Structure 1
Amino acid sequence: MKITRIVMLEVQLEELRQKLFDRPGVEGAAFLLCGQSVSEDAVKLIVHAVVPIADEDYLRREPYGLTIASPALTRVAKLARYEALSVVFAHSHPEGVAEFSEQDDREEARLLPFLQARVPGRVHGTLVLTEHHIQGRLYTPDQVRVDEVIAIGDRIRSWTPASIEAIEPFFDRQVRAFGPDIQRLLRRLRIGVVGAGGTGSPVAEQLCRLGVGHLRLFDGDRFAKTNVNRVYGSSLQDDGRLKVEIAKEHLDRIGLATAVDTVPQHIFYEAAARAMRDCDVVFGCTDKELPRAILVQLAMRYCIPVFDLGVLIDSRNGCIASVHGRVTTLMPGEACLFCRGRITAETIRIEALSEDDRVRQVRDGYAPELDEPAPAVIAFTTATASAAVMELLHRLTGFMGSERSSSEVLLALDQTRLRTNRIKSRDGCICEDRSSWGRGDVEPFLEMVWPTETK
């Protein structure tokens, strides 16, 4: 059975609540225009914009019901069809009952066929909000319950249909730290890890031992004996095996309930990139700039928080001059890797060249050497991986305090120093283009040109 999600930004949820609860004691409503993500495993609506309902378009607003004028429905349906977006009708229950009522059922029986006829070929939905809870339905085209509503921002918050799941006793020490609700949230999360090497393998292991419910590992590389100094779960006997296979075998052997699946392909191939859509969170553990550019687009268009990791060791003649780790959080509203100068269009161009073309351009002076192996030490890659996992835990729990709202952590490991920052997006950067936020599935995927796969 497919998982179902509705995802929005924290600022969109705040705007929605303002529209729905603007008059105490009576129901309120608004429309959400959404991108969609539909795969074999999941159906997800991603909020692109909140569309308020004008006072004059309410025919009735009462404590237990409301009626909206037909022209308002027609206008939003016309806009959704023009923009190729889905529609979610959201309304409030001021009395605090977070369940769909019989009146809601009757209204949906009229509203959803209208939306499906006016905006065909799209998933549509409904939401009911109380002061503390959210519950949803999707129509795919038949009605299905939304498994989870997620809001992302300074915190990652989640609402599910009420249920009390038992927690395995081996998470007791962790529950003592964060409480049972966070442990249940970790179990529901689907997290992608791009790269299964020096930073990706410790990230995956820590997420597994935290109790994350589902991990999806992406890497097309094969293990070499020179990787054994930093890849968790590996041995010299693994030479030549796919890194994701080694990681899955190791994580499965731990014996927790984490489901691990693998994508043995680099994400600059379209099929692999598409497989990231089902994730609630992604960790970028690659040292290449082209995959990082793809992660920037994924974060913006699918509202998926991405924690991008980097480790740089400056060593000269066997003496370390500096060791820097970095964790950058990518999502709509935050400065991206282009803004920060972490990646550049020129390096991406060079990485995308065929091997023959790259050798030719290096020889002719049009491209720098890219294949010189960088220093790597397990203590430094693991420290950066741990910092990234802690960033996720902070977004889930706020354990670093309400004032900690940075989007980048810089570790000067040789100086035992940590700095954080949060900068504005650069004017004209792709991450400032709000028209792309929450757009979800489009063709071509991520509006990018993808290489043809060859054997």
Structure 2
Amino acid sequence: MISNKVVLLEEHLTALNELLFDIPGIEGAAFILCGQSVSESVTKLISHAVIPIKKEEYLRREPYCLSISSAALSRVTKLARYENLSIIFAHSHPQGISEFSEQDDGEEEKLMPFLQSRVPDRIHGTLVLTESHIRGRLYIPHRIATDAVLTVGNRFNGYFTGTTEIAPIYDRQVRAFGKDVQHILSKLHIGVVGLGGTGSPLAEQLCRLGVGTLSLFDGDIFEDTNVNRVFGSRLEDAGLLKVDIAKRSLDAIGLGTDIKLHPKHITDEKTALALRDCDVIFGCTDKELPRAILQKVALHYSIPVLDLGVLIDSHAGKIIGVHGRVTTCMAGEACLFCRGRITSENIRIETLPEVERKQQIKEGYAPELGDPAPAVIAFTAATSSIGVAELLHRLTGFMGSERYSSEVLIAFDLSRIRTNRIEAREGCTCSDKAEWGCGDKVPFLELMWPNHTK
């Protein structure tokens, strides 16, 4: 069954509310230019830019109806066709009726053929906004109701069709965050990239929280030396895929979470394409190329990526420092390159064939390969918990309305946690709004996809 969604950046929703509710009690409208994402299981329109309707372009604007001029339609279709984007027509119901009306049905029967003829080969849609709810429809090419309208920014939110009964086993969580948050968790599709010391406990926490769907990405084989930090594993699992171990463990919990497995690394293009179906992604890999891919996904598809890392600095068996990190990557935030968490040079070295890498090391063009990094379950599991807490804050705001940081830094050896939010580096692609919500591109993510990397 295909799921249909609309994803709105928080700044675009703010702009919509200002345009649609500028005159109390009177309907308002605007257009949204959107990227699109089309896979076998999920169709999405992703907000790219909000296009206001000029005052003189309204033919009628009343409490229960509005109409706009052909000049407004021509203007927005030219923009969409030029940029190869989809169009959403959004309007308000100021009286608080969150459903599409019969009049909306009739207007869309005239509007959609026009949009489809002027901007062909694209999915288009409509939204109805009240002060507390959003409903959506997509035309693929025929009308179908969206399953969800998701908003992404300082807060994450979701407006879903239908209701889901909350099982009594979640009573303690409902007491903490309320039924609405539990309902959103049950509808979310979250990806976890990497199922080692941070990814495996994180996946288990998400499952126990009641997240509806988990997509697990990892191409690694389990080794017996992993058993001291990989949740759900046993010594006898050596040789099994990490994703299979995780699924066995999560299914055994019995909460009915839909577990989807992707037993290859996301440097495989087909595997990376599946990331588009997620609503939120946790990056739990220690490689820089996968992190760079996740950064592009965050921008092109407005999918928040929470990137986790743990570094233990020790010498001769003595700990010098233990650091954990949770960085939220999405449009409007400084990226992993801006922060120096990943670099183009490290990615270049990481992706070299082994023979060539050894030669460059010998010639002094690449650093020596060190021993495997230290890893301790207490620190990896604790960092995963802080990552989950960060997700809950984005859903609920429980850390306070003034808390706008996009990175959490944990110094375990100093018993200290601090947060930060920095500006994007001048000239970095993450500050280029042309990248935000652009959706599917050819080639995928505008990247070359080598076959030899892991």
Q: What's the CA shift string for 1:260-312, capped at 9, x where partnerless? A: 01101111111111100000000000001111111111111100111000000
Matches within 5 A, 1:358-437: 358-370=357-369, 372-437=371-436
TM-score by length of 1: 0.98
The separation in 2 between residues aligned to 1:370 and 1:302, in whole angstroms, is 35
Q: Give the letter aligned to residue 179 of structure 1.
A: G
The separation in 2 between residues aligned to 1:414 and 1:159, in whole angstroms, is 42
SS in 1 for 2:347: helix
Aligned to 1:112: 112
The separation in 2 between residues aligned to 1:207 and 1:259, in whole angstroms, is 12
Aligned to 1:126: 126
Q: Give the letter aligned to residue 411 of structure 1.
A: I
Shift of 1:371: 5.4
Shift of 1:158: 1.3
Shift of 1:165: 2.1
Aligned to 1:286: 285
The separation in 2 between residues aligned to 1:356 and 1:72, in whole angstroms, is 60
SS in 1 for 2:282: strand
Q: Size of the alignment, in residue pairs?
A: 454
Matches within 5 A, 1:206-217: 206-217=205-216
Aligned to 1:245: 244
Shift of 1:370: 3.9
| Pair 1:182 & 2:189 matched | no
Aligned to 1:151: 151
Q: Give the letter aligned to residue 104 of structure 1.
A: D
Structure 1 pair 182–451 and aligned structure 2 pair: CA distance change class (3 A): same
Unaligned regions of 5+ residues in structure 1, if any? none
| Pair 1:65 & 2:65 matched | yes
Aligned to 1:86: 86
Q: How much identity, in percent, do the aligned residues show?
A: 65
Q: Assess if the C-alpha contact under 8 Å between 2:351 and 2:453 holds in 1.
A: no
Q: What's the CA shift string for 1:323-376, capped at 9, x where partnerless? A: 000000000000111111111100000111111111111111111134530000
| Pair 1:446 & 2:445 matched | yes
Shift of 1:100: 0.6
Shift of 1:164: 3.6
SS in 2 for 1:277: helix
Matches within 5 A, 1:228-307: 228-307=227-306
The separation in 1 between residues aligned to 2:401 and 2:328, in whole angstroms, is 17
Q: Assess if the C-alpha contact under 8 Å between 1:269 and 1:453 holds in 2.
A: no
SS in 2 for 1:275: helix
Aligned to 2:322: 323
Q: Assess if the C-alpha contact under 8 Å between 2:353 and 2:452 holds in 1.
A: no
Q: Assess if the C-alpha contact under 8 Å between 2:149 and 2:160 holds in 1.
A: yes
User: Which segments of structure 1 move beyond 6 Å, counting only runs of 4 or more?
Assistant: none
Aligned to 2:47: 47
Q: Give the letter aligned to residue 230 of structure 1.
A: R
Give the superposed CA RMSD. Answer: 1.1
Unaligned regions of 5+ residues in structure 2, if any? none
Shift of 1:21: 1.0
Q: Give the letter aligned to residue 331 of structure 2.
A: P
The separation in 2 between residues aligned to 1:453 and 1:258, in whole angstroms, is 34
The separation in 2 between residues aligned to 1:61 and 1:359, in whole angstroms, is 70
Q: Give the letter aligned to residue 440 of structure 2.
A: D
SS in 2 for 1:452: coil
Q: Assess if the C-alpha contact under 8 Å between 1:125 and 1:139 holds in 2.
A: yes
The separation in 1 between residues aligned to 2:448 and 2:55, in whole angstroms, is 45
Aligned to 1:103: 103
Shift of 1:39: 0.4
The separation in 2 between residues aligned to 1:246 and 1:76, in whole angstroms, is 50
Shift of 1:4: 1.0
Shift of 1:454: 9.5
The separation in 2 between residues aligned to 1:169 and 1:22, in whole angstroms, is 42
Shift of 1:436: 0.7
Q: Assess if the C-alpha contact under 8 Å between 1:156 and 1:395 holds in 2.
A: yes
Aligned to 1:4: 4
Shift of 1:401: 1.1
Q: What's the CA shift string for 1:125-161, capped at 9, x where partnerless? A: 0000111111010011111101111111111011123
Q: Give the letter aligned to residue 114 of structure 1.
A: F
Shift of 1:74: 1.2
Q: Assess if the C-alpha contact under 8 Å between 1:296 and 1:337 holds in 2.
A: yes
Q: What's the CA shift string for 1:230-281, capped at 9, x where partnerless? A: 0000111111111111101110111112110110111111111110000000
The separation in 2 between residues aligned to 1:227 and 1:109, in whole angstroms, is 58
